[in-house]
Structure 1
Amino acid sequence: MSAGRPRRELAVPVRDGRLAVTHWPGEGVPVLALHGITANALAFADVAEALGPDVPVYAPDLRGRAGSAHLPGPYGLAAHVADVRALLHHLGHARVVLLGHSMGAFVAALAAARHPEPFPHVVLVDGGLGFPPPGGTDVDALLEAVIGPAMRRLRMTFPDRDAYRAFFRSHPALAAHWSDRVRAHVDRDLVGTPPDLRSSCVLDAVRADGADVLHDPEVLAALHRPRTRATLLWAERGLQDEPRGLYDAERVAAAALDPQRVDVRRVPGANHYSVLLTPAATTAVAAAVHRARTTCASKGHEPQKT
């Protein structure tokens, strides 16, 4: 595989430190890409390729993960929104496209609900539309049930990098999609020294973010707010590559989203993870982002080089 688009690493001032941000340079309206609950910035490497060499992409390691694992709490989705706004201020743009995957989609939806002017149209990939669980549900138990191996690995140690990569390669949703870019994403998460390597993800951050996704009324209502405009792309298959995904046509219909504000599209054949990896899926994501960039650009002049 070729090296792909050139990228550089930035350190952006936020509350109590600096946010690690991966930047694929380009021109015009930037894309700020927000990863899932135990992922990192390099989850978007294939999407950055699909967007083409001229689209600027900024993908932070969200607070409590990878290069931003050192940033302290309080955690939660509101903290990520504050960090995204700090990144926006640092870039000096009036508006950007927020692209979020999984938990990152909930961050994007919340940001758009609170701040529609800088985030006029968000792209949500297999996330952002919430369904509250029954009362009394234990957050750790539900996270374990939903994200399975991703949650378990936060309590595990690994003797070397190959063992960590093998853990991911055995994942049913990733096994058929392993690549150099997926390996780079996995490697970015690993911290420590052999034989005591572990995930960089801060468990308290994952718990706080998961609790907000599952229970916070403002987060659950974000996509229903009258000023929130979004494209929701849902993967046909699930987190373990099972035939039923997090969303399906019936559940999306039951949410009664306003079709004038939220464009809902199915991504056939993709699972929760491969929706950021396979050519057909990343083409669909890129198309939604290009449409959102057009919306942003039409709302005012933007600086050109970013």
Structure 2
Amino acid sequence: MSIHDTRTHRHRTVEVAVPGGTLTVAVWDPVDDLVDAPTALLVHGITASHLAWSFVVSQLPGVRLVAPDLRGRGRSEHVDGRAGMAVHADDLALVLDALDIDRVPVIAHSMGAFVAVVLAHRHADRVSRLVLIDGGLPLDLPRDADPDALVSGLLGPTAARLSMRFADDEEYLEFWRGHPAFCGHWSEELERYLRYDLVDDGHGALRPVTSYRVMIEDTLDSNMGEAVPAALAALRHPTTLLTAPRGYRDEPPGLYAPGYLSRLLAHYPGIAHTAVLGVNHYTIIMAPAGARVVGSVAQAITRMSER
């Protein structure tokens, strides 16, 4: 039994060939072994891994859940080549091919939501519905921002940690215990997610696995590239946006300030919006209260996709 099993699902991983290497893809199968179980695709954020979804998985009994480590993250760290939203979207299409999945609802968080929008554009027949969680629509950023300043301003210590080294797991956990986003939200699931983030740096220490280069490429492409605006302009899939009122460091407002969000939703009237109260950018999926709301929406759209 995998340590990442839940009461509702069994966890396994498969390797899927993509240009430049292989992606590690998690599959959470329902414990009831339902042959006709519906399937949903989960897409994580910019410095995350598939284990960010552990909290949501338990809210989706009876649903088979496919969650890749995107290239440059988790156990897909060593995939060669450039990144960007179109590359990730094409990788996801190959994941669906490898698992013989024809069409699927996509539930995606943060940068993963931008990837999901582009997936729906480039591979429209593979996507039934979208749930975008605190991402996927343009952020309120200056178009001419310096790349390093943009990353620092958006992600702050979350990005800075990628260049840090840690003596052991416990030192890394202590780093995160001091993060305001997780104050009052510490859990065994969170610890497992964080431990998975660490790899040997080759010099006797541990480092976060996410590639800084890939993170920079993805940050610039998701906020300043052409793939996302083109995908949003052509968006035809039923789409739900869930937003958090607080940001990366539990600060108000969230990534989408109320006035700016109102203008965005007016520009994209086909997108249904729900504000998830009492959560920040992380805890909207990585703590029980947020996961319950996300799970409820995901369960509903997954059942709709079966019709």
**TM-score greater than 0.5 by the shorter chain:** yes
CA positional deviation for 1:71: 0.3
Letter in 1 for 2:73: R
Which blocks of at least 5 consecutive residues in structure 1 are unaligned? Answer: 299-306
CA positional deviation for 1:132: 5.9
CA positional deviation for 1:136: 2.5
Match for 1:185 among 186, 193, 199? 193
Indicate whether 1:214 and 2:223 are aligned: yes
CA positional deviation for 1:160: 1.1
| In structure 2, distance between residues paired with 1:243 and 1:198 | 30
The normalised TM-score by structure 1 is 0.91
Match for 1:238 among 241, 247, 266? 247
| In structure 2, distance between residues paired with 1:118 and 1:192 | 37
CA RMSD of aligned residues (A): 1.9
Letter in 2 for 1:217: E
| In structure 2, distance between residues paired with 1:174 and 1:257 | 33
Change (3 A) 1:68 1:2: closer
Equivalences for residues 139-154 of structure 1 within 5 A: 139-154=147-162
Give structure 1 regions of 4+ aligned residues with deviation exceeding 3 angstroms.
none
Mean alpha-carbon deviation: is it higher for 145-154 or for 193-202?
A: 193-202
CA positional deviation for 1:195: 4.1
The normalised TM-score by structure 2 is 0.91
Letter in 2 for 1:185: Y
Letter in 2 for 1:39: A
Indicate whether 1:120 and 2:151 are aligned: no
CA positional deviation for 1:258: 3.6
| In structure 2, distance between residues paired with 1:223 and 1:282 | 26
Mean alpha-carbon deviation: is it higher for 178-187 or for 131-140?
A: 131-140
CA positional deviation for 1:3: 5.9
Aligned to 2:12: 8
Equivalences for residues 294-305 of structure 1 within 5 A: 294-298=303-307
Q: Tell me the number of residue pairs that the alignment of Structure 1 and Structure 2 aligns.
A: 296
Assess if the C-alpha contact under 8 Å between 2:40 and 2:64 holds in 1. yes
Assess if the C-alpha contact under 8 Å between 2:131 and 2:240 holds in 1. yes
CA positional deviation for 1:126: 0.5
Mean alpha-carbon deviation: is it higher for 21-30 or for 170-179?
A: 21-30
| In structure 2, distance between residues paired with 1:183 and 1:177 | 11
Identical-residue share of aligned pairs (%):
36
SS of the equivalent of 1:25 reads strand
Aligned to 1:254: 263
| In structure 2, distance between residues paired with 1:221 and 1:210 | 17
SS of the equivalent of 2:165 reads coil
Which blocks of at least 5 consecutive residues in structure 2 are unaligned? Answer: none
Assess if the C-alpha contact under 8 Å between 1:29 and 1:95 holds in 2. no
